[in-house]
Amino acid sequence: MTIARTFAAATLALTLAAPAAAAQGDVHFLVLRENGAGSPATAQTYLDSLMVHVAKANGWTAASGSYQTKRAAAKTYVEANKPQFGILSLGAYLALRDTYKLAVVG
């Protein structure tokens, strides 16, 4: 599945699952697709566009996200930004769920 299709499919899930209560200021997202095809820089443009639509659909003032392909970079982003939502590869979710108290939404 291409990056664009992955984000398009995730848009509906995020729009339906994202609670309005999270809209206190900027809502942060992390997308971690370990060893994903393409570069984070290329995927980031799609993610930025997705965040605009998700914020508008949920009535948020703003949403921002980070696309990562390495777990170490994702951990750095999590520590710095405390994202409210994420789309993670299964291995990453299983490895990080206890450390960051992750929960499946939707």
Answer yes or no: are the C-beta atoms of 22 and 34 closer than 8 Å: no
pLDDT digit string (tens) for the chain, length 106 residues: 555 555 444 443 444 444 544 546 789 999 999 987 778 899 999 999 999 999 999 999 999 999 999 999 999 999 999 999 999 999 999 999 999 999 998 7
For residue 21, give the amino acid letter: A
Residue 14 confidence (pLDDT): 45
Spatial CB neighbours of 98, under 8 Å, sequence gap ≥ 6: none
- Report CA 101 to chain centroid distance, whole Å: 16
Residue 3 confidence (pLDDT): 54
Helix (H, G, I), strand (E, B) or coil at 11: helix
Helices 3-17 and 40-58: angle between axes, nearest 10 degrees: 30
pTM for this structure?
A: 0.75
What values do phi and psi take at 15, rounded to 5? -65, -40
Strands of the sheet containing 85-88, edge to edge, are 62-68, 26-32, 85-88
Residue 1 confidence (pLDDT): 52
Residue 2 confidence (pLDDT): 58
